[in-house]
Amino acid sequence: MMNAEMHLPVVLTGDGLRAEIRGGELVSFCQGSCEFMHAPDQPGWGHADTEMFPVVGPTAETGYRVQVPRGNAIQDQHGLLRELAYELVSATDSTAVLAKTYEAGTPVANSKYPQRSTARWLVWPYSFRFEKRIQVLPDSLEVSFEVAGGSDMPFMLGYHPAFKLQTGQARISGCGRTVSIEQVLAAGDRAYEMPGCETLVLEDTRRLELTSRGFGHFMLWSPDPGMVCIEPITYYPYSRPQAEMHEGFDYLEREARRFSLTLKPLT
């Protein structure tokens, strides 16, 4: 294990595709001169991707408390994973493996406190290891996740990548429907739900196919017409009141759980 925090960029290449990772974040995915990822310094959102774990969705209405079978769970919106730093486990020309680990009951400082949250510390009563693998394949990029922990640990998972839009006419199609960027913007912070979907296509000046495994659903979010987040999720956070969030949990078993999203540029 390289056991190094990710201060330096990692660049992956193969067959005309290029990906760049900074601090564990996929900040660039290019085919030739075409950039698909939203740049964090551009209007809309200050990131290119993040992960939502072990909860997906807001928790403010319940005082940041989440009902779980064991102990005390204090989680801000989308969970505490984003507050932890990635370590670089390994890297080759085409593949990078990153990991975060958490020990049950460890207080984690909440970066939203005090300006955007009253929860100063976040706590989860379960230990886990979260692995993120980014691999350039012959015609696509695969981002995969492995979640390992106690066999009784409840969890939700969402992957939150942001994509650059070239025009105001972008559409997302799949599962028998087509959604305009205007519809996504109108959904606001609740995001636009795409239930029961595993494959979507982002149609702009270029087309990008997104195929998920293990999640089961997507949601779409955009704060600016120049970008859109297409997010595979295990649970849509507005399907129930916040007090019933626990009804949307999956549970780990003895084996680690695996999830993936493949990004494939189309001609």
Tens digits of residue pLDDT in 227-264: 999 999 999 999 999 999 999 999 999 899 999 999 99
Q: pTM of this prediction?
A: 0.96
Structure tokens at 234: 């295990």
The pLDDT of residue 168 is 87
Q: What is the pLDDT of residues 162-208, one digit of tens each?
A: 999 999 899 999 999 999 999 999 999 999 999 999 999 999 999 99
Residue 151 predicted with pLDDT over 90: no
Residue 143 predicted with pLDDT over 60: yes
Residue 4 predicted with pLDDT over 70: no
Nearest to 199 by CA among 179, 174, 233: 174
Residue 3 predicted with pLDDT over 70: no
Note the CATH architecture for domain 4-266. Answer: Distorted Sandwich (2.70)
Q: What is the pLDDT of residues 85-139, one digit of tens each?
A: 999 999 999 999 999 999 999 999 999 999 999 999 999 999 999 999 999 999 9
- In angstroms, the Cα distances linking 82 to 52, 63, 76, 126, 144 are 7, 19, 10, 16, 16
- Rounded CA gap, 148 and 254, in Å? 8
Confidence of residue 72 (pLDDT cuts 50, 70, 90): confident
Q: What is the residue type of 10?
A: V
Structure tokens at 241: 């009141």
67-98 CB burial, b ≥16 within 10 A, e <16: ebeeeebbbbbbbbbbebebbbbebeebbbbb
Q: What is the pLDDT of residues 124-138, one digit of tens each?
A: 999 999 999 999 999
- Rounded CA gap, 127 and 155, in Å? 12
The pLDDT of residue 7 is 63
The pLDDT of residue 254 is 87
Residue 2 predicted with pLDDT over 90: no
The pLDDT of residue 1 is 40
The pLDDT of residue 6 is 58
Residue 141 predicted with pLDDT over 70: yes
